[in-house]
Amino acid sequence: MELKTEKVENMCGGEGHVIIKHILGEKELNGKCGLYAQVTIEPGCSLGYHEHHNESETYYILSGQGDYDDNGTVRPVKTGDVTFTPDNHGHGLKNTGDTDLVFMALIIFD
């Protein structure tokens, strides 16, 4: 299966760009999930704060470090950390290190 990779500039109002490597496509997600992907945020870049409605999102940090905005509360995240954003809540993530911040992202529809 070929993995689709896309580079998104200023994602959700963030700084710089985000690289998304889609692990599963729309067909494989089968209407049950909105996204299953490996996401890379390079140094100096961020994924802007955004809210989720009728879905939740989980991040699993594979490498790097950053500041995670958990519905208005900012906390540091690093390799091995897991974040969960439930329905009707928001989040954002900024790379605060000097290496790539890489994580798995999973959006599940409610």
- Which domains does the chain possess? 4-109 (2.60.120.10)
What's the whole-number mean pLDDT along residues 53-76?
Answer: 98
What's the whole-number mean pLDDT along residues 88-95?
Answer: 98
> What kind and span of H or E run contains 26?
helix 26-29
Residue 18 has a pLDDT of 98
Q: Alpha-carbon distance 46 to 67, whole Å?
A: 9
What's the whole-number mean pLDDT along residues 5-21?
Answer: 98
Answer yes or no: are the C-beta atoms of 78 and 42 closer than 8 Å: no
Select from 91, 99, 28, 16 the least CA-distant residue to 59: 91
Q: CB atoms < 10 A from the CB of 86, how many?
A: 12
Residue 31 has a pLDDT of 95
Q: Mean pLDDT in the chain?
A: 97
Whether the pLDDT of residue 4 is over 80: the answer is yes
Q: Alpha-carbon distance 18 to 21, whole Å?
A: 10
Whether the pLDDT of residue 108 is over 80: the answer is yes
Answer yes or no: are the C-beta atoms of 69 and 43 closer than 8 Å: no
Q: Which residues pair with 74 in a beta bridge?
A: 69
Q: CB atoms < 10 A from the CB of 69, how many?
A: 21
pTM above 0.85, yes or no: yes
Residue 1 has a pLDDT of 72
- pLDDT-derived band of residue 47, with 50, 70 and 90 as boundaries? very high
What's the whole-number mean pLDDT along residues 55-71?
Answer: 98
Q: Alpha-carbon distance 8 to 105, whole Å?
A: 15
> Which residue has 């974040």 as its token pair?
83
